[in-house]
Amino acid sequence: MLNSTTSSIGAQNLAPAEIEYPPTQSSDSMPSSVMSQSVTGSSPRKRGRLVSLSLAEPKKQYKPLIPSAVHRCKWATCSETLDCISKLRTHARTHAASQTICMWSGCLKISESIPDLRRHLDSHTKPYLCSMCQHQAATARDLSRHKLCHGFTSGSSVYYCPSPSCPYRQGGHKLPFGRRDNALRHINNRHPSSTDGPVPGIYQN
């Protein structure tokens, strides 16, 4: 009797224990976001927002290149470059230290003296610079003549056409001439029968 009781107890101990699991939700009651998470293993996305990843390298930002003025010496035996027109003039004159023949590209002028050659070199380097348009002139007088094309200031000496019907007359709607030879050329071309010369005057704004 004892043996049978013991064997029945041992059978109960060896029987597998039943494990209770929490109730599972059916697919009908489970939210779609949770279902997609359980299937794909990814986090749920917010509706209406697209996330894109770009693997392209970011565009490099380049600074604009600022051109710098370069003035090259065109002496036959020289290729020096300088960043200033005044430096080019000084440099070019060093070539005239011991000779009177100009060896600038395309020029073989023979000067009477070294100072003459140095003055002649200004016709190549043109060291006089217009502050309004960067025009280069060989002499200060040439630069003054050039500046007349930019207009006149009050008190400037000018020349008018003597013809009373010409728009270049004094009081006409055209600007006067800044040089007498230009006014004379105008008279000879437009008024060949006129015997009067240019009329000098003072320009007033």
- What is the set of domains in the chain, with CATH numbers? 71-138 (3.30.160), 151-202 (no CATH)
When pLDDT is averaged across residues 197-203 and rounded to a whole number, the result is 94
pTM of the model as a whole: 0.48
What was the pLDDT predicted at 20? 53
**What is the helix (H) or strand (E) element at residue 124, kind and residue range?**
helix 114-125
CA 57 to chain centre: 27
What was the pLDDT predicted at 98? 87
CA distance 124 to 104: 8
CA distance 138 to 145: 12
When pLDDT is averaged across residues 72-89 and rounded to a whole number, the result is 93
Share of the chain above pLDDT 70, in %: 66
Backbone angles phi, psi at 124, to 5 degrees: -95, -45
Structure tokens at 155: 């008190």
Residue 3 pLDDT > 60: no
What would the pLDDT profile of 116-169 be if each residue is shown by its tens digit? 999 999 999 999 999 888 889 999 988 988 887 777 878 888 999 999 999 999
